[in-house]
């Protein structure tokens, strides 16, 4: 259901926002995470298995708390973006944006005319409460939060132009794929990767747009916030659950040895 965008307010106030990656597509996890106090939840439909129907259930569950629902799209398909926005996504994260032209296409797909070319069915979709909010279409463009991801050395070269695109609210530096794009997959702490990150940072800041990222060696979530990053997401639901399960099994190991 349509509501004020908490994440957009936090970013506009110049504050850092904390989020979590939800890859399992399980609505109860979204509900727990939102009630825990996160500013936003990333429903990861790029790397996660969730269908659009499962994503809608997670959106409903997330609204038990204040967390803004951000959907990471599988790609840049405008038809997918239209459907997930109609379903109620409050923020969009789009991966692998490498040029200003691609960024403009993302914005156009997400915005109603005249700012874009998003198809209109506002009175019938979940995003408007199935018509319960007659002002949804008039407010949707301003309320939506659009985040594009820089994840390659090509994108880092074009960071200033990408960030300058009107309608892009924040640029997220994906350090994992960025490292892979220069032949250093899984090595985000390498100086060569850091150089690419710094280049991307400089371009985004020159355009006056806020930055987001994930932690990397030597740069914790708190340290990144001190560096000026405003959108930060570290743990994923799958990783958090695995860590808790492994710790639980390890804690019980002495009892098994005694047996």
- pLDDT tens digits in sequence order for the chain, 259 residues long: 679 999 999 999 999 999 999 999 999 999 999 999 999 999 999 999 999 999 999 999 999 999 999 999 999 999 999 999 999 999 999 999 999 999 999 999 999 999 999 999 999 999 999 999 999 999 999 999 999 999 999 999 999 999 999 999 999 999 999 999 999 999 999 999 999 999 999 999 999 999 999 999 999 999 999 999 999 999 999 999 999 999 999 999 999 876 5
The separation between the first and the last C-alpha atoms of the chain, rounded to the nearest angstrom, is 54
226 half-sphere exposure, CB direction, 13 A CA radius: 6
Query: Is the bond leading into 118 cis (omega within 30 degrees of zero)?
Result: no
Return contacts of 78-83, CB within 8 angstroms, 24+ apart. 78/105, 78/108, 78/109, 78/117, 81/106, 81/109, 81/110, 81/118, 82/109, 82/118, 82/119, 83/52
Give the pTM: 0.95
Any idea which residues carry the catalytic annotation? 47
18 burial type by CB count under 10 A (0-12 exposed, 13-18 middle, 19+ buried):
middle
């Amino acid at each position: 259901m349509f509501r004020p965008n908490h994440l957009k307010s936090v970013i506009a106030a110049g504050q850092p926002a904390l989020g979590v990656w939800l890859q399992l597509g399980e609505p109860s996890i979204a509900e727990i995470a939102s009630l825990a106090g996160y500013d936003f939840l990333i429903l990861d439909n790029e790397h996660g298995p969730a269908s659009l129907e499962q994503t809608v259930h997670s959106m409903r569950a997330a609204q038990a708390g204040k967390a803004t629902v951000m959907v990471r799209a599988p790609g840049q398909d405008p038809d997918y973006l239209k459907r997930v926005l109609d379903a109620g996504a409050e923020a969009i994260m789009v991966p692998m944006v490498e040029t200003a032209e691609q960024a403009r296409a993302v914005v156009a797909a997400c915005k109603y005319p005249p700012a874009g070319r998003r198809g209109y069915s506002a009175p019938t979709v979940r995003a408007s409460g199935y018509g319960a909010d007659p002002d949804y279409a008039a407010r949707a463009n301003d309320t939506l939060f659009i985040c594009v991801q820089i994840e390659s050395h090509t994108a880092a070269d074009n960071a200033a132009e990408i960030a300058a695109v009107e309608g892009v609210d924040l640029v997220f530096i994906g350090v994992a794929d960025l490292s892979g794009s220069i032949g250093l997959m899984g090595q985000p702490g390498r100086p060569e990767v850091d150089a690419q990150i710094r280049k991307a940072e400089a371009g985004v800041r020159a355009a006056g747009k806020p930055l987001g990222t994930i932690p990397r060696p030597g740069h914790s979530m708190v340290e990144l916030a001190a560096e000026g990053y405003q959108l930060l997401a570290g743990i994923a639901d799958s990783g958090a659950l695995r860590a808790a399960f492994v710790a639980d099994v390890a804690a019980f190991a002495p009892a098994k040895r005694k047996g």
